[in-house]
Amino acid sequence: MINVYLIGAGPGDPGLLTQKGRRHLETADIIIYDRLVNPTLLYLAKKDAEFLYCGKLPRHHIMRQDQINAAIVANAAQGKKVVRLKGGDPAIFGRVGEEMKAIRDAGLTYQVIPGITSSSAAAIYAGIPLTHRDHNGHVTFATGHQKNNALTEIDMTTLAQGGTLAFYMGIENLPRICEKITKQPELAKLPVAIIEWGTLGRQKVLTGTIATIESELAQTTMANPAMIIIGNVVKERSDTSWFEQTPLFGKRYLLASETGITFDQICDYTELGAHVYALRIQDARFDDITTRVLSEQQWDGVILHDGTPARIFQEELLRLGINETFHIFQNDPAHVILEG
């Protein structure tokens, strides 16, 4: 019997979760999840599954890594099926090695279910293939920070040899990254793309060169989570990517229904480019998630499904202590588009 499943949630778009990951999410007794996990994936959980949030913000961790390890082991030791849900791929800058060791040391068993890593997904959703035979023959994945906030020492000569660098969570260290690259003056004109919230309808993309990107970034509000892609492959991006041309791209909708929104209904919106959050009415497990999501983000309005009256939605907000007014759409934008 496997005690723990360490699952990659993918880069944000809920439709990018693997089939194997979905199968084990649906049968987990407890799901321990990160901040970068799209909360709509929790819709796949069974009705009596528990949720444990261990979200990590820059310089502020809800739970330290040793506490996360302890929570995984303690719940698995009680005979629960534990899913540790991690953004992207857990084996790429996801500390999965530390969690594997903690599980092994406790005499428990586990499986790792890879996910789509953020660099390849965010890049292609921005219209940038990480590899292209006209531009590069190799790609380097690098973290923009390490323990004690020390920048990874990357051999920048790979760029001069036609490579591509993909930095995870590197915005705070962008000045040091650019400084290190410009020690080779011939690289100052290399194109750069910064992709914030890649694969979601709230995705933003900024392009420039090593010489200009810092000043251009300073004129925006972009922040982590973001990928930094450096190399000539960035030239493949047009003004807008295929994803940014989807009919609902950039729209942010709350979905609500007395009977519950299905995961497939959520994906109907995200495949059209919308950024959505679905309210689980009267499901206390989602109370903290809903409060956090509604307070941290701006929304274009709420779409009521299945004939749910606006009163039910307003009562749910009141129960949660959310004092905010939302525009209620009379016509479901996704339905109008899907029905042509």
Where exactly are the structural domains of the chain? Answer: 4-116, 119-243, 248-338
How many Cβ atoms sit within 10 Å of the Cβ of residue 328? 14
Comparing C-alpha atoms, which of 158, 98, 128 is closest to residue 239?
A: 128
Spatial contact of 205 and 241, defined as CB atoms under 8 Å apart: yes
Dist. CA 200–CA 39, nearest whole Å: 12
CATH 3.90.226.10 applies to domain 4-116? no
Q: Which residues of the chain have pLDDT under 70?
A: 56-61, 145-157, 160, 330-331, 334-340
What pLDDT was estimated at residue 337? Answer: 67
Catalytic residues: 34, 56, 169
Any idea which fold 248-338 has?
Rossmann fold (3.40.50)
Output the pLDDT for position 165.
Answer: 93
| pLDDT score of 155 | 63
CATH architecture observed for domain 119-243: 2-Layer Sandwich (3.30)
Strand residues in 21-117 grouped as ranges (E):
30-33, 50-53, 56-57, 60-61, 82-86, 110-113
119-243 against 248-338: fold identical? no
Give this prediction's pTM: 0.92
Q: Return the structure tokens found at 301.
A: 């309005």
Q: Choose among 210, 192, 193, 143: nearest CA to 172.
A: 143
| In the block, residue with structure tokens 């799901």 | 31
Q: Which residues contact 153 (CB under 8 A, 6 or more apart)?
A: none
pLDDT digits (tens, 9 = 90+) for 110-151: 999 999 999 999 999 999 999 999 999 899 998 876 554 555
